[in-house]
Structure 1
Amino acid sequence: MPKLPSRRNKATSAASTDSTSAANSVNEDISQQVDPGSATITVTAVEVPELTEEEQSDRLHLERRVERAFFEAGKALAELRDRRLYRSTHKTFDEYCRSRFGYTHRHVNYLIAASNVVDNIVMGTNGSQNEISDEMGTNGSQILPTSERQVRPMTKLEPHKQQEVWLTAVELAGGKVPTGRIVKDVVQRIMELTQVPNTYQLGEVCQILVKDNLELRGKAGCWGIVSATNEFSCTVRMWDGEYAVGLQHLKSYDYLPAECEQMRVICDRINRVYSSGLEESVQKFLEMLGKLNRAYLTGLEEKVLTVLESEIRD
C-alpha cells in the first residue's frame, strides 16, 4: 500500500519555497538599488524643550556656586585660621587642613590669596564687597575670576595693580573670563614695564628669594655668585650649577669686594665636589654650605670640605 506524504515534508517544502522566493526578492531589490552615494537619508528632528523659568533660575544659581567655589573656600579657610577654630582637634592649622581636607600648606595659601585678589578686584570696580555673592563669575554685570589659577599670577601685586591686570586680561579675552595664561602674560608685561634697572654686578653675592617661582623650588635662602647680568635677570652660579634668576628673586648680601671674592672661591670648591657624584649625605652637607648667610667657613666646615676635596682627587 503506498505511503501518504507526511505533513512535515509539506511544511518543509513550503518553507523552502518561501525562503527561495524571499531570497529572489532581495536579489531583485539589490540589483535595482541605486548608488549608495546618491541615497537620501531622512532624519527626523527632535524638538528640545526650552528651560522653564524655574530651571533657568536653578541653572544660574548652580553656575554661580561653581564659579564661587574657590573664592568661598579661601574665605572659609582664612576664617578657620584666624579664629583658630581647629584648636580643639589639631595643634596647627597646617595639620588640620591636611587631615580634614587633604590640602597642602601651599594649596591653602593659594586659595586664601586668591580670595583676597577677588576682593581687591571687586573693591576696585564697585567700591564695595556687598554684591560679591551676586556678581561672582560670568553671569553678573562684572566679569570676575572663576578659578584660583586665573588669579595666582596676581597675588604678589599691589591691589591697584591687580585691578589693572584683571581688566586688561578680560579685554584681551574678548570680554570673557580670561585663562590663567592670559593673566600671567599681562602680569609679566606690566612687571617688565615697571622693572627697576639691573644694578647687580659680576661677582656679587646674592640670596635667592623663591616666592612663587616653582623653577627655584628648594633654593630658598641659598646664596649664589652673579656670573652674568641681563636686562631683567642675572645668571647666578650656585653650589649645584648655574641658574637664570629674575631680579625680583634676588637680594644682595652687600658684601665687601674681598668677601665676594672669598665666596666665589668657596662656591667653586663646593661645586667641584658636588659634581663629582659622591654619596647623598655628602651632597646634603654641600647643600647646607650653599645656604650660609656669612662670608666664610668655620674651622670645622673648612676641614670637612678639604677632606672631601682630597677624596675626589684620590
Structure 2
Amino acid sequence: MTTALTTSEKRTLEACELDIEKGASMVGRAMQTIRDDRLYRATHKTFEAYCQERWKISRQHAHNKIAHTEVVAAITDQLPEMSTMVDKIPERATRQIRDLEPEQQAKVIEVASKQGTQVPTSKAVASAKEQLEDFLEGDDEEETEEAPSPSIILDDCNRSVPDHLSAHYELGARIASCARTLDATLRELNELGKLPGSEFLHVADLETRLRAAKKEIRDSRYWTACPRCDGSGKCDLCGFRRFIPVSSKGLLTQPEKDVLKCN
C-alpha cells in the first residue's frame, strides 16, 4: 500500500491539523478523519506514533476525543432542536454515556439539560444516567413479575409461540441475556478507561466492536413464527428455520407486517 498522499488528501490533512491546532470543537472529527483515512501514513507507520510525535498525546487520548465527537453526533441526530447546546457538552460528560444506545444517550442529555444549567455538567449527566438505569431496571422487574404463564408463551409480537418453536424462543431469551451482559461489559470498560495505566486499553475501539457484536447477537434472536408459512418451515422467507429472527423483519411484505401488527 502506498504511503504517499494525494493532493486532495494533503489538503484534508492540513485542514484537520488546523482544526486540531485551534483546539476547535472539531478536534475529535479531525482526529477521526486522520485515523480512518490513514492520513498519517506519509510520515508515520501508525496512528499511535502520529499522535505521540505530532501532538504529544497518547492514542487513547485521541480516541477519547473521537468518541466524544461520535456521542455528540449521535445525540444531535436524536435531538436536532438542541444541537447548539449538545455541541457544548464537555467530553467528561459524554464519556459517562458512551456505553448507552443513542436513544438512551439523548434521553440522559435531555433530562440533564433540565437541571438548572445551560449546558449539562458531568455531575448532571451522571445523575440523569442513574435515573435512566433505575427506570430500566424497574421495567425489567415489572416484565419478570408479569411474565405470562409457561403454558402460553407470547413472543415480541404478542403472538403465541408454537410448541414446536418453544426451544427456539427460549434460546432467543438466552441470546438477549448475552446482549445485556455485553452492556455491563461496556460500562465496566468505560470505567476502566478512566483509570491510570489504561493507556494501552483501547476502549474506543473495543466499544465499537462490542456494540457491533451486541447488535448482531440481538438481531439473531427469535422474533416471531414465520407468517408466510405459519411456522411450517416450507418457504424461502424463514429459510426452513420456521421462525423469523429480528434481522429478517425488513424482508416481510407490508401485508405480512399489517397482519403481525408488530414493529
TM-score with structure 2 setting the length: 0.44
Higher helix share: 2
Higher relative contact order (CA 8 A, sep 6+): 2
**TM-score, length-scaled by structure 1:** 0.37
Quick check: which has more Rg, 1 or 2?
1
Structure with the higher strand share, 1 or 2: 1
